[in-house]
Amino acid sequence: MARRYDPERRQRIIDAAIRVVGEKGIAGLSHRSVAAAADVPLGSTTYHFKTLDELMVAALRQTNEGFAEVARSRAALRDPEVDLAGELAALLGEWLGGDRTGVELEYELYLAALRRPALKPVAAEWCSGLVDILAERADAATAHGLSALMDGICLQVLVAGDTYDEAYAREMIARLLNCPRPAGG
């Protein structure tokens, strides 16, 4: 029997891994569960990704692009005339305002790096990407602090199931930036 050419198979496997983690968490991720979700033979998952860590790296890299794309698309983050605290608070609001499944998935994969060394470089890419954007408007130490603060706010909202409070986020970010609220804002 001739082998069927399937150039999209690797991507379908990554997409399926993301769905599996979204539905069942990291604990539910296996080559078998991903193969079933992707509707491919089990051997295809192990052909493209020898280990689950390799598959998680690909999934994390793809999910990281979600927030990075949102951040990159906000040209106002780079504009020195724009209130950076307000812009970052709005960015978090946009990120947390819709369906939180993607955000939860991204953080689950991100936090999996605590126990899976193969994921650490990809998690670090996520952090450095945001810091690079923020460093255009703040010194390096402040950019790192802003990234950590934004992560903390996101995790608190996700774990506690709270509603995102943009005014609170703006206030905390402004404190870190040591800048007052704009007049009338």
Cβ neighbours around 180 below 10 Å, total: 10
Confidence of residue 128 (pLDDT cuts 50, 70, 90): confident
Task: Please name the residue that has the structure tokens 């295809």.
Answer: 44
- Region 137-141: what's the mean pLDDT? 90
145, pLDDT greater than 90: yes
E runs forming strands in 48-162? none
CATH number belonging to the domain at 61-177, selected among 3.30.420.300, 3.40.710.10, 3.40.630.10, 1.10.357.10? 1.10.357.10
Say which DSSP state 119 is in. Answer: G
- Per-residue exposure over 10-47, b if at least 16 CB sit within 10 Å of its own CB, e if not: bebbbbbbbbbbbeeebeebbbebbbebbebeeebbbe
User: Domain 1-50 in CATH: superfamily?
Assistant: Homeodomain-like (1.10.10.60)
Q: Alpha-carbon distance 23 to 114, whole Å?
A: 21
User: Number of H helices and number of E strands within the chain?
Assistant: 9, 0
**pLDDT tens, residue by residue, 13-67:** 999 999 998 889 888 999 999 999 999 999 999 999 999 999 988 988 888 777 7
pLDDT > 80? residue 181: no
